[in-house]
Amino acid sequence: MNSIVPSLELTDFDADQRLLQLHGTSLLIFTSIGCASCRWARRELPGLPLAVERLCWVDAGDNGGLVERFEVFQLPSLFLVRDGQFFGALQCRLSSIELNSAIQQALNLESAELP
């Protein structure tokens, strides 16, 4: 499967509204231009076979409000949102197998409101 996962860029100004309106599962990813792992993630994740409808990117350097609310302490940081509900942070390596496993585990947990 070589399809590209659709990507959106979110900011402090539109993230809440867009995440609440999006149907399906979104992987919210905080990155920074100065982070080598983040540049790798931006380049490689869209091409991986992931169990999400879209990737939602947040530039941590330009969106301090979201960084603070989501308590981002390292980059890249990944969070799962489905149908406007928050399923928490994903702690795993950035491979399709580990990401898909973490996504399935997170979706089995109780959801919460967005931070």
**Surface-to-core class of residue 61, CB atoms within 10 Å of its CB (0-12 exposed, 13-18 middle, 19+ buried):** middle
Residue 1: pLDDT band by 50, 70, 90 thresholds?
Answer: very low
Predicted confidence band at 3 (pLDDT cuts at 50, 70, 90)?
A: confident
pLDDT for the residue 31: 98
Calculate the alpha carbon distances from 94 to 18, 37, 39, 48, 85 in Å.
25, 9, 12, 10, 23
CB 71 within 8 A of CB 115: yes
pTM of the model: 0.95
pLDDT in tens, 18-53: 999 999 999 999 999 999 999 999 999 999 999 999
Which residues on adjacent β-strands are paired with residue 80? 27
